[in-house]
Amino acid sequence: MLLAGLYVIAGGILLRGDLVATPATNTGFLALGAVLASVVGTTGASMLLVRPLLQTNSERTRVKHTVIFFIFIVSNVGGMLTPLGDPPLFLGYLAGVPFTWTFRLLPHWALMVAALLAIFFVVDSVQFSHEPVAALRRDRTRVEPLRVHGSLNAVWLIGVVLAVALLDAPWRELAIVALAALSLWLTARRIRRDNGFSAGPMLEVAALFAGIFLTMIPALELLRERGGGLGVRAPWQFFWASGILSSFLDNAPTYLTFLALAQGLRLPAEVVGVPASILAAISVGSVAMGANSYIGNAPNFMVKAVAEEAGVKMPSFFGYMFYSAVVLFPLFVVVTLVFFR
């Protein structure tokens, strides 16, 4: 219900425009997305910003790297600060993690977002310097200011945040459904049409989650009882183990799996039966390493599909993983040394 509510409401906000596609402009898009991802979710922020970003860069010939970093930052790492940001953190909230606890991940978020933005700015500056003169001339002449349509939906988004933070079930879910219904009723149809909005992605997510949650129940119970025998005990081990699995499985059940494993260790408990350092490692690993492959997090494939529709030739599955290995893995080593030793 939360994912569907955020998807419906964010789908009623349309950003339209074509800015000059300089490295500074593109970096600004990604920085804005990193903030929005924790407010409207990685899926909502990705669908809200990817089309205006592609439109802004439509005159440039080198765009692939921009979409890849968009997936890294907006579709994954950015959604680390609230339970609304990414499904794993919301599942943690439902399992008893306080709503504001994820604010403690601000240093992890800031380090990774700042590093990725800096790397992107350098890469995009190099690519910009190799653009044909004709492409840059077209880019400077085809400028359209950004305009926001459907801004009333920002009110409904605030309502969802308040509902999640302040209400318990079933009132929380009823409020989310009511706000999504208001968005559908009061938003002009042309806005959703121009956004390419459809129920298809959410139906796929619902089917996937239903299958995963049903089959995970016995595995979770087994991990709680026998998890101590697997040898995963230190924060850095939880960070990498949860992260590597999140790269190839959906990161939401991966989070639950390692939360159950940590609870099975019977360590001194600080939050939901586990030490805070281990909970942080599981949270950061599950969210951030969902960027390692196209299947690590639902928005990754959505962004890839939208980019390809716009004519951007995206890398193959393993081609994308080459970029994540070169850019993300060294960053994750730094995160380990700074936070999880």
Contact 327, 119 (CB under 8 A): yes
- pLDDT of residue 309 exceeding 70, the answer is yes
For 141-178, the pLDDT digits (tens) are 888 888 889 999 999 988 988 898 888 889 999 999 99
- pLDDT of residue 25 exceeding 80, the answer is yes
- pLDDT of residue 220 exceeding 90, the answer is no
In sequence order, which residues have a C-beta less than 8 Å from that of residue 144 and are 6 or more positions away?
A: 16, 17, 18, 19
For 39-60, the pLDDT digits (tens) are 888 988 988 898 889 989 999 9
Higher-confidence position of 261 and 116: 116
- pLDDT of residue 225 exceeding 80, the answer is no
Mean pLDDT comparison of 109-113, 193-197, 251-255, highest-scoring range: 109-113
Compute the distance between CA of residue 80 and CA of residue 33 in angstroms, rounded to an integer. Answer: 12
Compute the distance between CA of residue 86 and CA of residue 299 in angstroms, rounded to an integer. Answer: 10
- pLDDT of residue 224 exceeding 70, the answer is no
E strands, the chain, are 14-18, 144-149
Tokens encoding 61:
């010939």
Contact 4, 24 (CB under 8 A): no
Q: How many CB atoms lie within 10 A of CB 157?
A: 23
Compute the distance between CA of residue 296 and CA of residue 42 in angstroms, rounded to an integer. Answer: 12
Compute the distance between CA of residue 33 and CA of residue 24 in angstroms, rounded to an integer. Answer: 14
- pLDDT of residue 7 exceeding 90, the answer is no
- End-to-end CA, the chain: 37
Nearest one of 249, 227, 225, 248 to 238, comparing CA atoms: 227
Higher-confidence position of 197 and 71: 71
Q: What is the pLDDT of residue 227?
A: 67
Q: What is the pLDDT of residue 290?
A: 92
Q: What is the pLDDT of residue 11?
A: 85
For 168-186, the pLDDT digits (tens) are 889 999 999 999 999 999 9
Looking at every residue in the chain, the average pLDDT score rounds to 89
What ranges do the domains of the chain cover?
20-142+198-339
Query: Nearest 5°: phi and psi at 177?
Result: -65, -40
Q: Which of 11-25, 75-89, 200-214, 291-305 has the lowest mean pLDDT?
A: 200-214
High-pLDDT (> 70) share of the chain, %: 98
